[in-house]
């Protein structure tokens, strides 16, 4: 239990007045950049980075990581209230969070999201504390075939998932893959699908796509369906915050399963985005109320949020121990480490014990500070929902336009964002699911790279995906998830095709996310 001793030493570093103040400042700044879409955690952290050069490395990393926690929480706020995810990893939160908020329960939605996020983060930190050395080894075992297998698993948990017609899911995935392919291809180095627009060489930024698909797309649907401007009447009730958090233990199965998925994806390193999608997909399939997912289910919020934060937290471990940043924000922090004169890698745990354990202890404390601050702000954010739609709608358009422009100061991005808005509207009207589209945009090119790297390694043989136990397990699990709904349907058909069963499927088609 050397680790415990080190951790206690870490707490003596983290729990000092200046460090607690830094945490509070970091969290508040983080919530701010998280709530403003287009700014986001990576940009926020890089803006703050120059200020930390004069600081002790421990203080600097505490400030930056607190900002990261704050931004993760803040990102969920806009996902739930306005259907605009600020970070790729909070997309899945919109699926049930937004319907619940529109339903007049924004306080419940926010408090549930924050509570489960805190739980996920806590599990992630505990994992880091006890399994630091083991986890580092697991991450090393991941070569291109294993990466591909993890992405395959994430896709598989979505295709054929009840709800949208499987063929529509496949169409959405295919469009997403095509969008992800735009720009320079890593494996061949050539320019693809830029359609003569020079600037498209940079590819399609995720934030641009998502703000259009969700923010603008949802707005268009709302304008059409309920033009009679309606404000959501939500009582600001402090007790509801605590009641919502208090109800969480009832969903302990979902919490634990999502935390496990999150930790696994964080260290392997599939990343928080794949984790939250996979967790949502699996919850939808295995939850008793799975068919109501997409209409504002509590477990539909718990699952992605828990997994997202568990993965986001445990993703810091590969960064520290191996120098692989698990997310864009981690990459910026890694740049910071180098500038402060530290080199991420296995030796960090030996040479810089104060730094590493100070940081780990600050994750415990920082998350508690973040959750306390963010729960305090719930009623304030929930009150935003009472503003009439006629006022909120233009604000959402402004936020999306400014957000898209600020990604890389480009008008093309604004135009693309509006274009995605129309695509999002059409998807909704035609009952095509948006989730697989977004998933393919976010990890489609990574999956493609991993697949082609594997093919280069094996000189074209698919046998490489069954070359060792790890990759075989992942691939088999993926195939099983892919075939499970088919097998279930087959079994049901064989038993008796009753009219009631048919009614059920049509009901499901209506609740497409």
Partner 1 sequence: MGRTSTLLLSAAAAVLAGTVPACAAWQPQKPIEFVATAGPGGGTDNLARAVQNIVTKYKLTEQPIVVVNKGGGSGAEGYVYGKASAGDPYKVIFGTSNAWQQPLVSKVAFNYTDLTPIAAMAQDEFLLWVKQDAPYKNAGDYLKAAASGEFKMGGAQSKDTDEVLTRMIEKAGKVKLTYIPFKSGAETAVQLAGGHLDSHVNNPSESLGQWRGGTQRPLCVFSPKRLPQGPKVTATEGWSDVPTCTEQGLDIKQYEQPRTVWLPGKVTPDQAAFYVDLMKKVQATPEWKDYIEKTSQVDTFLTGAELDRFIKEDLEHVKQVAGEQGWLVK
* CB-CB contact of 169 with 160 (8 Å): yes
304-338 burial: b if 16+ Cβ within 10 Å, else e: bbbbbbbbbbbbbbbbbbbebbbbbbbbbbbebbe
* CB-CB contact of 104 with 386 (8 Å): no
- Pick between residue 11 and residue 349 the one whose CB is nearest to partner 1: 349
- Cis geometry, peptide bond prior to residue 34 (ω within 30 degrees of 0): no
HEC readout, 374-399: HHHHHHHHHHHHHCCHHHHHHHHHHH
Provide the token pair at 475: 């691939």
Of 12, 133, 408, 461, which one interacts with partner 1 (CB under 8 A)?
A: 408
The whole-angstrom separation of Cα 105 and Cα 154 is 30
- Pick between residue 201 and residue 391 the one whose CB is nearest to partner 1: 201
Q: Is 500 in the site for partner 1 (CB under 8 A)?
A: no
Of 4, 8, 21, 184, which one interacts with partner 1 (CB under 8 A)?
A: 184
- Pick between residue 458 and residue 489 the one whose CB is nearest to partner 1: 458
Of 1, 2, 341, 499, which one interacts with partner 1 (CB under 8 A)?
A: 341
CB of 417 to partner 1, least distance (A): 16
Q: Tokens 């806009």 — which residue? A: 78
**Within a 10 A sphere around the Cβ of 481, how many other Cβ atoms?**
23
- Pick between residue 200 and residue 260 the one whose CB is nearest to partner 1: 200
Which listed range, 41-49, 61-69, 212-220, 415-423, lies at the site for partner 1 (CB under 8 A)? 41-49
178-to-160, 185, 477 alpha-carbon distances in Å: 20, 12, 26
Q: Is 56 in the site for partner 1 (CB under 8 A)?
A: no
User: Footprint of partner 1 on residues 139-168 (CB under 8 A)?
Assistant: 139-144
Provide the token pair at 316: 């810091």
CB of 472 to partner 1, least distance (A): 16
CB of 165 to partner 1, least distance (A): 35
Q: Is 411 in the site for partner 1 (CB under 8 A)?
A: no
- Pick between residue 145 and residue 304 the one whose CB is nearest to partner 1: 145
User: Footprint of partner 1 on residues 421-450 (CB under 8 A)?
Assistant: 449
Alpha helices in 287-352 (DSSP H): 298-314, 316-322, 328-339, 348-351
Which listed range, 19-27, 305-313, 322-330, 476-484, lies at the site for partner 1 (CB under 8 A)? 322-330
* CB-CB contact of 301 with 112 (8 Å): yes
Q: Interior CA angle at 313 toward 280 and 293, to 5°?
A: 10
- Pick between residue 408 and residue 503 the one whose CB is nearest to partner 1: 408
**Which residues lie below 8 Å from residue 203, measured CB to CB, with a gap of 6+?**
180, 182, 183, 184, 445
Q: Is 348 in the site for partner 1 (CB under 8 A)?
A: yes
Q: Is 472 in the site for partner 1 (CB under 8 A)?
A: no
Instruction: Tell me the site size for partner 1, rule CB under 8 A.
Output: 52
CB of 93 to partner 1, least distance (A): 25
Query: CA Rg, the chain, in Å?
Result: 22
Which of the 8 DSSP states describes residue 184?
Answer: E
Binding mask 352-391 for partner 1 (x = CB under 8 A): ----------------------------------------
Which listed range, 84-92, 256-264, 319-327, 388-396, lies at the site for partner 1 (CB under 8 A)? 319-327
CB of 350 to partner 1, least distance (A): 9
Q: Is 42 in the site for partner 1 (CB under 8 A)?
A: yes
Q: Is 469 in the site for partner 1 (CB under 8 A)?
A: no
The whole-angstrom separation of Cα 189 and Cα 68 is 33
Q: Is 470 in the site for partner 1 (CB under 8 A)?
A: no
The whole-angstrom separation of Cα 421 and Cα 423 is 5
Which listed range, 15-23, 89-97, 318-326, 493-501, lies at the site for partner 1 (CB under 8 A)? 318-326
- Pick between residue 119 and residue 206 the one whose CB is nearest to partner 1: 206
Of 9, 11, 15, 183, which one interacts with partner 1 (CB under 8 A)?
A: 183
Length in residues, the chain? 513
* CB-CB contact of 93 with 279 (8 Å): no
Of 10, 203, 271, 300, which one interacts with partner 1 (CB under 8 A)?
A: 203
Q: Tokens 């703050």 — which residue? A: 48
Binding mask 267-306 for partner 1 (x = CB under 8 A): ----------------------------------------
Written as one string, the DSSP assignment of 118-168 is HHHHHHHHHHHHHHHHHHHHHHHT--HHHHHHHHHHHHHTTTT-SSS-HHH
> Which residues pair with residue 191 across a beta bridge?
184
Of 165, 193, 402, 457, which one interacts with partner 1 (CB under 8 A)?
A: 457
Of 166, 345, 419, 485, which one interacts with partner 1 (CB under 8 A)?
A: 345
Mark residue 297 as left, alpha or beta (left: phi above 0; alpha: psi -120 to 50; beta: remaining).
beta
CB of 1 to partner 1, least distance (A): 24
Widest Cα–Cα separation across the chain: 72
Q: Interior CA angle at 295 toward 293 and 300, to 5°?
A: 40
Q: Is 247 in the site for partner 1 (CB under 8 A)?
A: no
Provide the token pair at 394: 């233009």
Q: Is 266 in the site for partner 1 (CB under 8 A)?
A: no
Residues in touch with partner 1 (CB under 8 A): 42, 46, 49-50, 53, 139-144, 183-191, 198-199, 201-203, 205, 322-325, 328, 331-335, 338-339, 341, 343-348, 408-409, 449, 453, 456-457, 459
């Amino acid at each position: 239990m050397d680790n415990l001793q080190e951790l206690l030493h870490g707490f003596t570093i983290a729990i000092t007045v200046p460090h607690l103040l830094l945490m509070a400042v970091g969290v508040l700044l983080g919530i701010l950049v998280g709530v403003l879409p287009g700014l986001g955690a990576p940009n926020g952290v890089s803006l703050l980075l120059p200020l930390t050069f004069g600081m002790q490395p421990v203080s600097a990393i505490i400030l930056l990581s607190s900002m990261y926690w704050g931004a993760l929480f803040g990102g969920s706020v806009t996902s739930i209230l306005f259907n605009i995810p600020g970070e790729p990893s909070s997309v899945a939160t919109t699926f049930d969070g937004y319907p619940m908020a529109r339903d007049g329960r924004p306080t419940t939605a926010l408090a549930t999201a924050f509570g489960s996020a805190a739980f996920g983060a806590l599990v992630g930190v505990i994992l880091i504390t006890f399994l630091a050395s083991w986890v580092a080894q697991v991450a090393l075992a991941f070569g291109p075939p294993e990466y591909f297998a993890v992405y395959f698993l994430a896709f598989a948990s979505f295709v054929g998932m009840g709800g949208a017609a499987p063929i529509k899911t496949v169409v959405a995935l295919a469009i997403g893959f095509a969008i992800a392919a735009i720009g320079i291809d890593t494996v061949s180095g050539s320019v693809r699908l830029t359609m003569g627009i020079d600037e498209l060489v940079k590819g399609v930024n995720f934030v641009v796509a998502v703000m259009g698909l969700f923010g603008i797309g949802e707005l268009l649907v709302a304008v059409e369906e309920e033009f009679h401007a309606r404000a959501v009447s939500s009582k600001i009730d402090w007790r509801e915050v605590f009641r919502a958090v208090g109800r969480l233990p009832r969903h302990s199965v979902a919490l634990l399963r999502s935390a496990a998925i999150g930790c696994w994806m964080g260290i392997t390193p599939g990343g928080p985005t794949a984790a939250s999608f996979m967790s949502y997909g699996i919850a939808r399939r295995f939850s008793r109320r799975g068919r109501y997912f997409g209409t504002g289910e509590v477990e539909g919020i718990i699952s992605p949020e828990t997994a997202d934060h568990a993965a986001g937290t445990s993703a810091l471990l590969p960064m520290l121990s191996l120098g692989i940043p698990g997310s864009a924000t981690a990459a910026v922090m890694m740049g910071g480490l180098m500038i402060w004169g530290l080199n991420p890698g296995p030796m960090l745990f030996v040479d810089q014990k104060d730094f590493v354990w100070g940081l780990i202890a600050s994750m415990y404390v920082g998350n508690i500070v973040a959750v306390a601050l963010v729960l305090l702000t719930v009623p304030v954010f929930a009150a935003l929902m009472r503003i009439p739609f006629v006022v909120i709608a233009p604000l959402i358009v402004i936020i999306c336009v400014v957000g898209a422009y600020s990604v890389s100061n480009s008008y093309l991005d604004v135009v693309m964002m509006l274009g995605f808005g129309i695509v999002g509207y059409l998807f909704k009207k035609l009952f095509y699911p948006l989730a697989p589209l977004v998933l393919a945009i976010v990890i489609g090119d990574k999956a493609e790279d991993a697949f082609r790297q594997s093919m280069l390694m094996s000189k074209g043989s698919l046998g490489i995906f069954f070359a060792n136990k790890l990759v075989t397990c992942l691939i088999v699990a993926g195939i099983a998830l892919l075939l499970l709904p088919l097998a279930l349907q087959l079994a049901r058909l064989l038993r008796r095709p009753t009219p009631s069963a048919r009614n059920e499927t049509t009901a499901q088609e209506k609740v497409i996310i």
